[in-house]
Structure 1
Amino acid sequence: MNFSPNLTDNITYLHKKLNVQTNFDVVYRIIHIGGREACLYFIDGFTKDDSLLKILQAFSSIKPEDMPQDAHSFSKRYVPYGEIGLLTNDTDMIIQLLSGVSCLFIDGYDKCITIDCRTYPARGVSEPEKDKVMRGSRDGFVETLIFNTALIRRRIRDPKLTIEIMTAGESSHTDIAICYMESRVDNKLLDTIKSRIKKLKVDALTMNQESLAECIFPHKWFNPFPKFKFSERPDTAAASLLEGNIVILVDNSPSAMILPSSVFDIIEEADDYYFPPITGTYLRLSRMAISILSLMLTPTWLLLIQNTNLIPDWLAFIQLSDPLNVPLIWQLLILEFAIDGLRLAAINTPNMLTTPLSVIAGIVLGEYAVKSGWFNTETMLYMAFVTIANYSQASFELGYAMKFMRIIILILTALFNIWGYILGTSFAVCSIIFNRTIAGKSYIYPLLPFHWRELKKRFLRGRLPHTEK
């Protein structure tokens, strides 16, 4: 509905539409501006009270003979603070109001004057728990979109950095910021992403970026390897933008979605670049080696125990030293699920109880579980290494993808012995090789297709790029 020049008609319609009498946080004030009656709508808790007070004080000094004939002239002359807009219909106005923008109606004007003096509840930009670094910046993204874009702008002071705002969700109208460098981005991919977001037909992005990711890239669900890199670090997002990637920020989410991302992009961490090249290279190669070990250690050990004739003399110590009461495959699978159970319990445990309960869980699952005969010492040792190794890289999605592949290899090895081990390993490798990024490119580029110079950059951390004068 388009607004009427009659203020009473607008108030009657909006009171019914917004259910003002029931919604206590939808506030309206009838005021007088230049001898005319006016109505100001705002959401309690979303408005800077000091700014709104100054605006209202400025309105009170306007004389009737100074009132302009139209809303456009009024907004230019008498609204001294905030971003100003003019709206003609109720749909746009209600979305703006529920986003925190104050809306002003003046009798005789057929437009709504929007005054953006909003503020959102926000926590401090402290270092994220998961993406910690040994050296470097200690700030992190928060749930407020404007804070996150400011953290990126602070690092890239270039007019070519473009941040476009879009919305998705018929009920949530969630703000989505698409960040890119004009001269470096893949324009074809950028157009594809924007087109997919515009065509979204969803009620709400309930789970923020995960909901958006599943909507814009409905990939095959049975391949668990992540198609996006998520980071809560603004320095990582800024570095990705300078490399030509696209960064998507979603309101109410404290992480950035970086695309396109290959498996090498997901494995990279900020610590690789906060240390000298030789140290960064060591950290990167260590992380890659540990990730491969976390995938292959327990299946390989299970295979060797099932075929003791394959164990060389120098590895004889890996054989079981205690009687086997429960088949190894069941021990390994039980521990795989038990570790996830402990992780979920740790997340939901109050902070004051985390340490004592962790100690109790460690004793029960460690010493007593072995003494009771449920688990062998060697099984506990290798699963402990795998559990710790999963935390060597920051991506939860990649960690769980490796876990699923490891379980598949374990089951196939237990069922079909050597051929099962080969089949499971081949399945894991093919899941990576035949995966594709959102841009449709190889998931393991520059390994396939092979590009030596780029491959060297992925494995060896060279000097940081600089500009020659």
Structure 2
Amino acid sequence: MEFSTSISDNMNYLNNKLDVDANFDIVHRTFYVGDKLACLYCIEGFTKNDVWQKLMEDFSSLTPEDMLIDVQEFSKKHFPYTQVSLVKDEFTMIKNLLSGLSCLFIDGYDKCLVVDSRNYPTRSVSEPEKDKVLRGSRDGFVETLTFNTALIRRRIRDPKLTIEITNAGESSHTDIAICYFKGRVDEKLLEKIKELIKTVKVDALTMNQESLAECIYPHKWFNPFPKFKYSERPDTTAASLLEGNIVIMVDNSPSAMILPSSVFDIIEEADDYYFPPVTGTYLRLSRFLISILTLFLTPTWLLFMQNSDMIPSWLQFIKLSEIPQVPLLFQLLIFEFAIDGLRLAAVNTPSMLTTPLSVIAGIVLGEYSVKSGWFNSETMLYMSFVTVANYTQSSFELGYAFKFMRMIMLITTAMFNVWGFVGGVLLTVCAVVFNKTIAGKSYIYPLIPFQLSELKKRLFRGRLPHKAK
């Protein structure tokens, strides 16, 4: 529906459509601009009151002669504000209003003046809890999209950086920003991503980025290895854009979705680049090796315990010091589930109770679980290492992928011994090798297809390139 020149008709329609009598936060106020009646619609809590106070002071000085112009000329001559647009249809106007923009109607004009005077509630910019660094920037993304894009613009001051805005969700109309660097981005992949977002048919992005990720990449849901890299750090996001990646940011989500991403991209961290090349290489290789250890440590130990004759003489100390009362497989699986239970409990525990409850949990679960015969001390040692080592890389998704594959290897090893271990390893390798990025390329490039020069860059932190003057 298009608006008419009669403000009373427009107000009657919108008051009924928006149900302004029932919605206390939808504010509508009438006043005069020159000799014409005007009506302002806005959302309480989203609008900068001082902006409209100043605008109304300017409107009060207008005379009837000043209003003898069309709405286009009025917005240019008598509207002292930068972000003003004209909207003719009610669908666009309502979507803008519910997004936080203010909408002004003036009698005699068949268009609505949409003013971006938003003031979203937001928390202050601070370092992300998960993506912390030993050295480097201490700022992180927040839940407000415009703040997040500003943090990227602050780092890349180049007109080739493009940030396009779109939305998805028939009810939520959630804002989505697509960021890329012209000249470096894969144009075919960019068009594919835009088309996928346009064709998303959901009522609302209730889980923000995860909802969008499941919509644009619905294939191979059973493969636990992540298809996207998530980062709450503006510096990491800016570096990815400069490398030619595409970044998708969703309003109300304090992280960026980086694609396409291989397993090497996901394991990388900002600390690799905030230290000299030797230190950065050490940190990167350590993280790679520890990630592999978390995957294979407990299944390999279980295999050795089931075949003690396979243990070499220099590894005899890994044998059990006591006969297990509970089968080792059940001990390891119970620990896998118990660790997630403790993690969930820690998330929901008030901060003031974290320390005393941690002490109690350490005493009860540590000492008495061994004394009661439920667990062997060796089992607790290896599972403790796996639990702590999982936090060496920041991706929760990759950590849980390793966890699921480790549990599968434990079960197959317990059931089929050596062949079960080999089968579990092959299944894990296939899950990684046959996984694809959203661009359809290999998940473990540059291993497959093999490219030595790129593999060296992934494993070893070199010096940053410098352009000659």
Separation of aligned partners in 1, 2:198 and 2:453: 38
Q: Which amino acid aligns with 2:127?
A: E
Alignment-derived partner of residue 8 in structure 2 = 8
Separation of aligned partners in 1, 2:347 and 2:35: 60
Structure 1: 5+ residue stretches without partners: none
Separation of aligned partners in 2, 1:287 and 1:364: 31
Q: Which amino acid aligns with 1:109?
A: Y
2:374 is the counterpart of 1:361: no
2:318 is the counterpart of 1:323: no
Alignment-derived partner of residue 181 in structure 2 = 181
2:120 is the counterpart of 1:117: no
3-state secondary structure, aligned to 1:320: coil
Q: Which amino acid aligns with 1:307?
A: N
Separation of aligned partners in 2, 1:136 and 1:324: 48
3-state secondary structure, aligned to 1:155: coil
Separation of aligned partners in 1, 2:193 and 2:68: 44
Q: Which amino acid aligns with 2:7?
A: L
Alignment-derived partner of residue 42 in structure 1 = 42
Separation of aligned partners in 2, 1:360 and 1:239: 43
CA deviation map 1:294-348 (0-9, x unaligned): 0000000000000000001110000000121000000000000000000000000
Alignment-derived partner of residue 385 in structure 2 = 385
Q: Which amino acid aligns with 1:42?
A: C
Q: Which amino acid aligns with 1:207?
A: M
Alignment-derived partner of residue 104 in structure 1 = 104
Q: Which amino acid aligns with 1:62?
A: L
1:208 CA drift (Å):
0.4
Separation of aligned partners in 2, 1:82 and 1:217: 39
- Match runs of 1:194-213 below 5 Å: 194-213=194-213
Length-normalised TM-score, structure 1:
0.99
Separation of aligned partners in 1, 2:466 and 2:149: 25
1:409 CA drift (Å):
0.2
2:260 is the counterpart of 1:269: no
Q: Which amino acid aligns with 1:39?
A: C
3-state secondary structure, aligned to 1:425: helix
Separation of aligned partners in 2, 1:70 and 1:198: 35
Separation of aligned partners in 1, 2:465 and 2:98: 45
Does the Cα contact within 8 Å between 1:3 and 1:90 map onto a contact in 2?
Answer: yes
Q: Which amino acid aligns with 2:397?
A: E
Length-normalised TM-score, structure 2:
0.99
1:101 CA drift (Å):
0.6
Q: Identity over the aligned pairs, expressed in percent?
A: 72
Alignment-derived partner of residue 313 in structure 1 = 313
1:68 CA drift (Å):
3.8
1:271 CA drift (Å):
0.1
Q: Which amino acid aligns with 1:208?
A: N
Separation of aligned partners in 1, 2:129 and 2:196: 32
Alignment-derived partner of residue 278 in structure 1 = 278
3-state secondary structure, aligned to 2:167: strand
CA deviation map 1:139-178 (0-9, x unaligned): 0000000000000000000000000000100000000000
Separation of aligned partners in 1, 2:266 and 2:344: 24
Alignment-derived partner of residue 58 in structure 1 = 58
1:70 CA drift (Å):
1.5
Q: Which amino acid aligns with 1:195?
A: E
1:258 CA drift (Å):
0.1
Separation of aligned partners in 2, 1:383 and 1:145: 40
Alignment-derived partner of residue 243 in structure 1 = 243
1:365 CA drift (Å):
1.2
Separation of aligned partners in 2, 1:392 and 1:186: 31
1:394 CA drift (Å):
0.1
2:229 is the counterpart of 1:229: yes
Separation of aligned partners in 1, 2:217 and 2:77: 47
Separation of aligned partners in 1, 2:236 and 2:379: 38
CA deviation map 1:186-218 (0-9, x unaligned): 000000000111111110000000000000111
Alignment-derived partner of residue 416 in structure 1 = 416
1:427 CA drift (Å):
0.3
Alignment-derived partner of residue 258 in structure 1 = 258
1:82 CA drift (Å):
3.6
3-state secondary structure, aligned to 2:425: helix
1:71 CA drift (Å):
1.1
1:222 CA drift (Å):
1.0
Separation of aligned partners in 2, 1:14 and 1:83: 23
Separation of aligned partners in 2, 1:130 and 1:143: 16
2:82 is the counterpart of 1:75: no
Separation of aligned partners in 1, 2:386 and 2:363: 18
Instruction: Count residues in correspondence.
Output: 469
1:81 CA drift (Å):
1.5
Does the Cα contact within 8 Å between 1:82 and 1:117 map onto a contact in 2?
Answer: no
Does the Cα contact within 8 Å between 1:446 and 1:454 map onto a contact in 2?
Answer: yes
CA deviation map 1:431-452 (0-9, x unaligned): 0000000000000000000000
Does the Cα contact within 8 Å between 1:5 and 1:108 map onto a contact in 2?
Answer: yes
Separation of aligned partners in 2, 1:403 and 1:158: 42
Deviating 4+ runs (over 6 angstroms): none
Structure 2: 5+ residue stretches without partners: none
Separation of aligned partners in 1, 2:33 and 2:221: 59
Separation of aligned partners in 1, 2:121 and 2:456: 45
Alignment-derived partner of residue 30 in structure 2 = 30
Alignment-derived partner of residue 451 in structure 2 = 451
